Structure 1
């Protein structure tokens, strides 16, 4: 038993020897390697007021102490307060750390002198008089060895209600400078891209390569990066790119401090709190704003052949062929049509930016998660189809066919035709669009809008080029009976689009709302028929017009009453392999088991998604490949709003569907193209 007591005493003695006991010298604590003091900017504090304080540590040359996250070794500085009733203390604030190599390790901390600011706050009800505030600080002083050091401090404060505070005059300027150096939130967008081995930080725009001397990132937490690895910096298109070797941690967000050395303004730290996106940074040459705009333009061009958009575009071209307007009118209409498309895309981009800034998880096609919008579009498609079938005629105020209208009406009609083209295009995601829009929504608002304008120009391009180069229209066939037949054929494309949107709506609402949706279509059809009779009748025109207006109001009222079902029991197209419903928890569970996972993000209102499911994912050879490679199969159904799925899309750098991704235990997720074939999927699974 006596040996146990001796052992305990020896351990206690060794522990006490490891702590350098301070020697008080006034307000300064002297330890073997540090001169410490507690700075207070004022001697008095008012009830409800505050005073600034700072822990000053001045280390011997060659010695250092640690930041809030010390890196590969060490412990952060700690300050514990003993406060009288009515006073509270704020947290320590941390100036930008330095990277301090020690052997093969990398630490984050401070050399020379550092001041860690804080605040003392007085309650409004604190009694007036003298109070004594005590603080106990601990820190490590390290060189070749690390020595725990500590200090006790006592501060006398006068609590009085006088409006004017009295300065202590002791290092107050140094404390103010330290407070000014505390990192603030970054003033520009910051995104991390994880390509498996590298965590690529992309910040900006707003950086000038002539003045940025260096940059370094210090993360919160362990395992985020390989601390000792070299961080390679580059400036591209005004953006700062920092290539950092990724650590074993695979989180969806990263926090820390980015320290930038500017030859003009000096060393500045920025607090970073950013999501992590799978893939490479745009500055790596895989994506820039110009490439994104080109991709968006190509995607917009492809939208013109989508079933919903094609009839609108063809009717605009047929209008030119039928009316033979003057060349200047054709040019004007082309520019006005383009302006309508640009207006609609600009509005959509700004709406997305506002909603995302407000914390909403939204992406491309988000409006189609609302059954009211889907029902309204179904009615619009039906009415346009009836117009092409000759039930009634929509004049130039909508699609530019029929009789000539006054110049003003024609201009406004063409303008709203451009807006209509965007409205009917929203259910579609063309190839190249996903990558471009995913990139756009991680950039500054100006760049986001620029990419959307690229999409707008692509959608407007066919009619725009015919309008600006009139001789191109000379190669078009001459007007004739074939035009009427083409209109009737295109009407069936719009009927099909309307039927498909009703199918989408049925999956979003309950059975009673689905019945209402059909009633709304009936009213819309009746309104179109009544309007056609009113236009052709010499007698009773006003009465038939009133009937049409009543039917329109009824249709809109019915559509406006549609509400999504409270429980998501969406049906899904049958595919070759049975897919589990997606959730981030299930994905994490499967990955923790070491299983590869194939996730497809889809929606009932996404035409491309449905085609891919039918052409590729439903094939038996794909199902066999999934089984052969023991791949878990998850379906993320985005038909109705689902913040969890939206967040998962954002983590992949995408803002719309379809998205096909394979998760393995090796590196970053692998994204497949938006248009897939069975062979693409099978080959990707074989690479696991």
Structure 2
């Protein structure tokens, strides 16, 4: 158990370096700089971020464990298999970007618009940032995490929750420790007009995350989901603009009730769209198998190929898994890997978990794995697969193919 907890903590630390969490780094950095070296407030922000991360992680873990206890085959990052949640997260990212650009102020009353958030409202915002970092981190499963999470999901609830809590502490640890480091507080520059420009610039990582999530939604739903999310994004931008106008009018002592009502109507319209999405969130069905290219994974197809004397490489991935995309670009699509595939006559299969697939989730669970990516190499002639690390290298992948090709019989 202690090894699993330590592995989860180390995995959480590493997640801070993964592309999934990069958009949240902008919010973290701005939160630190905004305090201008106020050590007491920095410590409160650090605790709030930790609490937000911990509560969000425990909530996700609780839902995940409850679903699995009820017989559902779901794994790490399961919420991103829901097009509705992907669309909602995209709107959260867009809203955060519009807020950073100054279109409106969030978390304060109209009479205080334009002033720095402090006190309770600022700490709530920091806690929500911690929760958002956990939600965005779930598509990634870095080193140390796979075994720890697989262990957590087969243990009693309290043990499992302890492992997930360690993961949350690892995610939040760098920001929280920096907040409790007095030398850092003294090094931070004082707040000033330069922070407005910085705040605007930090909006662009959020917009990049929104673009990625919209791409994931398109991969999940096809042409049905794209018009839905683009329409909601446009409505959200208009709502934010109206709310910003209302805030500025209220600050100058002018009536703003009509603008506030219009903004509230815009939010209600977005909520109604999510409540009645029509066919927008219907998942795309798998396409028919092409004559060439990667083979759609199935246990029967793996058995057939290995029985025919071919090694099999299986790529368990998803459109929302950024680590999968990095490995695909850096290793799986390179000429060296393709040459090794041809030389060893290896069958390349893809188990696409972009949308929920019970057979894929069960196969991963049987292997004691719950997060993506997952790479399996089956030896020619049959046998148990070799599980490759989640961060691939060309030498590691091609070496595994050579060993599998020589392992006939």
Give the TM-score band, short-chain normalised. Answer: 0.7 to 0.9
Residue in 1 that maps onto 2:150: 438
- Distance (Å, rounded) in 2 between the aligned partners of 1:617 and 1:315: 33
Whole-Å Cα distance in 2 between the matches of residues 495 and 451 of structure 1? 32
Secondary structure class of the residue paired with 1:292: helix
Please tell me whether residue 361 in structure 1 is matched to residue 73 in structure 2: yes
1:644 corresponds in structure 2 to 359
Contact 1:336 1:415 in 2 (8 A): yes
* Contact 2:313–2:376, Cα closer than 8 Å, also in 1: yes
The answer to whether 1:563 aligns with 2:281 is yes
Q: Does residue 611 of the first structure (1) align with residue 326 of the second (2)?
A: yes
* SS of equivalent to 2:74: coil
Q: Deviations over 1:105-127 (max 9, x none)?
A: xxxxxxxxxxxxxxxxxxxxxxx
2:216 aligned partner:
504
* CA 402–535 in structure 1, closer or farther in 2 if over 3 Å, else same: closer
State the Cα RMSD in Å.
Answer: 2.6
Instruction: Tell me the CA shift for residue 488 of structure 1.
Output: 3.1
Gaps of 5+ in 2: 405-409
Work out which of the residue numbers 281, 293, 298 in structure 2 matches 1:578: 293
The residue that corresponds to 1:671 in the other structure is 387
Residue 225 (structure 2) aligned to one of 496, 508, 513: 513
Distance in 2 between residues matched to 1:597 and 1:653, nearest whole Å: 20
Residues 419 and 590 of structure 1, relative CA distance in 2, 3 Å threshold: same
Change (3 A) 1:594 1:683: same
Instruction: Report what 1:447 is aligned to.
Output: 159
Give 1:67's aligned residue.
Answer: none
Which stretches of structure 1, 4 residues or more, deviate above 6 A after TM superposition? none
Measured at CA, do residues 500 and 570 of structure 1 come closer, stay the same or move farther in structure 2, by a change above 3 Å? farther
CA radius of gyration, larger in? 1
What is the CA–CA distance in structure 2 between the aligned matches of 1:414 and 1:492, rounded to whole Å? 19
- Alpha-carbon distance in structure 2 between the residues aligned to 1:355 and 1:459: 24
> 1:566 and 1:312, CA in 2 relative to 1: closer, same or farther beyond 3 A?
closer
Distance across 2 between alignment mates of 1:541 and 1:505 = 36
Matched, 1:352 2:70: no
Q: 1:412-463 CA deviation, whole Å, 9 max, x = no partner?
A: 3333232222223233333332232122212222221111111101111122
CA distance, structure 2, for counterparts of residue 296 and residue 546 of structure 1: 46
Q: After TM superposition, give the deviation of residue 313 of structure 1 in Å.
A: 4.0
Q: Using a 3 Å threshold, how does the CA distance of structure 1 residues 553 and 650 change in structure 2: closer, same or farther?
A: same
The more displaced of 290-299 and 624-633 is 290-299
Aligned: 1:309 with 2:21: yes
**1:11 paired residue number:** none
Task: Say which SS state the counterpart of residue 359 (structure 1) adopts.
Answer: coil
Contact kept in structure 1, 2:38 and 2:185, CA below 8 Å: no
Distance 1:305 1:473, change over 3 A: farther
SS in 2 for 1:509: helix
TM-score (norm 1): 0.54
Is the deviation greater in 466-475 or in 405-414? 405-414
- Partner deviation per Cα, 1:35-55 (whole Å, 9 max, x = no partner): xxxxxxxxxxxxxxxxxxxxx
After superposition, where does 1:19-418 map in structure 2 within 5 Å?
289-307=1-19, 309-324=21-36, 326-395=38-107, 403-405=115-117, 407-418=119-130
1:336 shift after superposition: 2.3
Q: Which among 503, 514, 531 is matched to residue 243 of structure 2? A: 531
Structure 2 residue 307 is the aligned partner of structure 1 residue 592:
yes
Q: Take 2:227 and 2:150, find their aligned partners in 1: how far apart are those partners?
A: 37
Check whether the contact 1:596–1:631 (CA below 8 A) recurs between aligned residues. Answer: yes
SS in 2 for 1:363: coil
2:407 is aligned to none
Whole-angstrom CA distance in 2 between matches of 1:421 and 1:411: 15
Higher strand share: 1
Q: Which moved more, 1:452-461 or 1:587-596?
A: 587-596
Matched, 1:659 2:374: yes
CA distance in 2 between counterparts of 1:307 and 1:596 reads 32
Question: Following the alignment from structure 1 to structure 2, what is the Cα–Cα distance between the partners of residues 578 and 445?
Answer: 42
The whole-number CA distance in structure 1 between the counterparts of 2:345 and 2:372 is 25
* Residues 336 and 394 in structure 2, CA contact (< 8 A), matched pair in contact too: yes
String of CA shifts for 1:321-368, please: whole Å, max 9, x gaps. Answer: 333475333323322221111111111111111100100000011111
Alignment size in residue pairs: 393
The answer to whether the Cα contact below 8 Å between 1:520 and 1:559 also exists between their aligned partners in 2 is no
Please tell me whether the aligned partners of residues 141 and 372 of structure 2 are also in contact (alpha carbons under 8 angstroms). yes
- Partner Cα separation in structure 2 for residue 414 and residue 501 of structure 1: 23
Superimposed CA distance per residue, residues 501-532 of structure 1 (whole angstroms, 9 cap, x where no aligned partner): 11111122242332122111111121222222
Equivalences for 1:470-489 in 2 at 5 Å?
Answer: 470-479=182-191, 483-489=195-201
How far off its partner does 1:396 sit?
A: 7.0
Following superposition, the deviation at residue 482 of structure 1 comes to 5.4
Deviation at 1:480, TM superposition (A): 5.1
Contact 2:353–2:360 (Cα < 8 Å) also in 1: yes
- Relative to the length of structure 2, the TM-score reads 0.88
